[in-house]
């Protein structure tokens, strides 16, 4: 016993020798156990107990030393870590094509002096509809059905980014030149969008003597920067918050199958709605319509993303398949 206690193996090899020497199949403990047979019967009990204590001692010592040596091994593995070695590369993800497209649009308008404004996605009836000259029961509301907050009357998910116009005008006086990107919602089951959420960018410019020519030139510059100098056309349209109103198309042509499909065979792709801000909207938001005039426009992002990256199907944008999204890793 004293012999076991005196042992101090300090390496894995020495520990293994210790195990073989005392606990192995030819080890001391085993041999002494076998010797039990030769011990006279009346001493067997005492001998047996002694042997058990001895075996226990050897096993305990073995376990204790093993734990200690394992801990030492782990520690030295850690200290051998080369902290100056380059780290494993971490996947950092990539921007979504919709975000990239939105940033590009914002960038182009920033260069023309527009600054970014923001508004809530859970909007009230006033900003989303009434201030924008779409009072309750106005038929134009049917074009933009949405989701209402059940417990809070007159609160809804905004159907467009136009309410940001009202919020900005209520809070400051012209000159105003803002761009408002963000998420919008519509309750549309039969829609090419195939889901109820999409993205828009709104623009608003209010000052003295702003004319339709300013609107057209601004949008032409945007179309050239964004799509590389295609022709544009403005078609008369209707929006409750602008008068006159127009929709802008860009010319893609029909020479490729993709363009044929995207433009439904016409060669023209509709990009946005726009117009001169209706004087009633200015008055609703506390701006003197006899002194100031302005233009506004609103555009969907998804369709532009499809065009920009030549994506054939809008649903790909929201399936969250990383194999698809990874392709845009280098885009900003």
Q: How far is the CB of 200 from ligand DAH (least distance, A)?
A: 6
- Cβ(7)–Cβ(28) below 8 Å: no
Smallest gap, in angstroms, from Cβ of residue 129 to ligand DAH? 11
- If the CB atoms of residues 15 and 219 are measured against ligand DAH, the closer one turns out to be 219
* Strand extents, DSSP E, the chain: 115-116, 122-124, 155-157, 176-185, 197-207, 232-239, 242-251, 268-277, 293-300
CB 300, min distance to ligand DAH, A: 8
Which parts of this chain interact with ligand DAH (CB under 6 A)?
Answer: 160, 162, 202, 239, 242, 273-275, 296-298
Closer CB to ligand DAH, 222 or 297, in the complex: 297
Residue 298 vs residues 196, 200, 314: alpha-carbon distances, Å:
18, 7, 19
Write out the two tokens for 18.
């210790």
- Dist. CA 128–CA 260, nearest whole Å: 35
- What is the phi/psi pair of residue 297, to 5°? -155, 160
Q: How far apart are CA 50 and CA 34, in angstroms?
A: 13
Q: Which is nearer to ligand DAH, 182 or 275 (CB)?
A: 275
Query: CB-wise, 222 or 239, nearer to ligand DAH?
Result: 239
What is the nearest approach in angstroms of ligand DAH to the Cβ of residue 175? 17
Q: How far is the CB of 120 from ligand DAH (least distance, A)?
A: 16
CB of 58 or CB of 271, closer to ligand DAH: 271
Give the nearest residue (CB) to ligand DAH: 298
């Amino acid at each position: 016993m004293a012999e076991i206690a005196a042992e101090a193996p300090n390496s894995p090899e020495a520990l293994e020798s210790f195990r073989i020497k005392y606990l192995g199949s030819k080890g001391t403990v085993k041999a002494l156990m076998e010797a039990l047979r030769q011990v006279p019967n009346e001493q067997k009990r005492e001998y047996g107990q002694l042997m058990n204590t001895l075996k226990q001692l050897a096993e305990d010592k073995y376990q204790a030393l093993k734990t200690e040596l394992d801990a030492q091994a782990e520690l030295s593995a850690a200290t051998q870590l080369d902290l100056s070695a380059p780290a494993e590369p971490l996947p950092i993800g990539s921007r979504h094509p919709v975000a990239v497209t939105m940033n590009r649009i914002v960038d182009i308008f920033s260069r023309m002096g527009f600054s970014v404004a923001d508004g809530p996605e859970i909007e009230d009836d006033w900003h989303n509809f009434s201030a924008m000259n779409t009072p309750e029961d106005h038929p134009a509301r049917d074009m933009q059905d949405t989701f209402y907050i059940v417990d809070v009357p007159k609160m809804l998910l905004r159907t467009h980014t136009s309410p940001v116009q009202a919020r900005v005008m209520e809070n400051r006086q012209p000159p105003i030149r803002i761009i408002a990107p963000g998420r919008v919602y519509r309750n549309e089951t039969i829609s090419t969008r195939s889901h109820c959420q999409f993205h828009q960018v709104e623009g608003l410019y209010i000052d003295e003597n702003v004319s339709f020519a300013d609107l057209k030139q601004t949008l032409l510059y945007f179309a050239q920067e964004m799509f590389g100098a295609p022709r544009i056309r403005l078609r008369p349209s209707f929006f409750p918050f602008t008068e006159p109103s127009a929709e802008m198309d860009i010319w893609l042509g029909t020479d490729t199958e993709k363009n044929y499909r995207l433009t439904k065979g016409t060669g023209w792709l509709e990009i946005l709605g726009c117009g001169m801000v209706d004087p009633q909207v200015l008055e609703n938001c506390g701006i003197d319509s006899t002194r100031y005039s302005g233009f506004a426009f609103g555009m969907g992002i998804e369709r532009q993303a499809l065009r920009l990256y030549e994506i054939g199907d809008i649903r790909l944008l929201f399936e969250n398949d990383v194999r698809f999204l990874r392709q845009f890793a280098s885009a900003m």
